[in-house]
C-alpha cells in the first residue's frame, strides 16, 4: 500500500510553529469559494486550486480559505467572496483561475478592489 510520508508533515509542523511565533496578528482575510453543484460544474475547484497556489507562493499566513454552498445565483458562478477584516465583504462573479490570481494579488495583498469582476459589495448588488 502506498504510504504517507510522515517526515514531510513533521517538517511542515516545525515550519508553521516557527512562523506562528514570529507573527503578531492572526486572520486578516477570509476567502470563500462557493462550492455548490453549480459552482463545481462551472470551475470552482480550479479557482480554489489557483488560490491555494497563490497563497503558498506569496507565503502569507493571515489568509484563510473556505468553501460554502450554493447561494442561489447559479448563473453567476463561480463566485468568490473576499472578506478583509474591518471592511465590507466583496462578492466576485464569473471567476476563473486567472481572475482569482488577479484578485489575490491586487485586492487581497494590495487592497485594490477589482471592480470589473464585482457582483456585490456587502449586501448591495452592483449589477
Return residues touching another protein (CB under 8 A).
1-2, 4-6, 8-10, 12-13, 15-17, 33, 35-38, 40-41, 45-46, 48-49, 52, 55-56, 64-72, 74
Q: Tell me how far, at minimum, the Cβ of 115 lies from another protein, in Å.
A: 26
Distance of closest approach, residue 66 Cβ to another protein, in angstroms: 5
Nearer to another protein, 6 or 116 (CB): 6
Type and span of the H or E element at 101: helix 97-102
Terminal-to-terminal C-alpha distance of the chain: 53
Q: Are 10 and 46 in contact (CB under 8 A)?
A: no
CB of 5 to another protein, least distance (A): 7
What is the C-alpha separation between 64 and 55, in angstroms, rounded?
Answer: 9
Burial zone of 11 (CB within 10 Å; 0-12 exposed, 13-18 middle, 19+ buried): exposed
Q: Which is nearer to another protein, 89 or 113 (CB)?
A: 89
Amino acid at each position: 500500500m502506498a504510504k504517507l510520508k510522515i517526515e514531510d508533515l513533521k517538517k511542515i509542523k516545525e515550519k508553521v510553529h516557527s512562523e506562528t511565533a514570529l507573527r503578531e496578528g492572526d486572520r486578516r482575510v477570509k476567502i470563500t469559494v462557493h462550492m455548490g453543484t453549480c459552482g463545481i460544474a462551472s470551475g470552482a475547484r480550479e479557482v480554489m486550486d489557483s488560490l491555494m497556489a497563490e497563497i503558498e507562493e506569496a507565503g502569507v499566513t493571515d489568509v484563510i480559505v473556505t468553501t460554502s454552498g450554493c447561494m442561489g445565483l447559479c448563473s453567476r458562478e463561480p463566485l468568490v467572496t473576499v472578506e478583509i477584516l474591518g471592511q465590507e465583504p466583496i462578492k466576485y462573479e464569473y471567476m476563473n483561475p486567472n481572475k482569482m490570481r488577479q484578485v489575490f494579488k491586487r485586492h487581497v495583498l494590495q487592497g485594490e478592489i477589482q471592480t470589473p469582476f464585482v457582483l456585490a459589495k456587502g449586501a448591495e448588488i452592483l449589477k
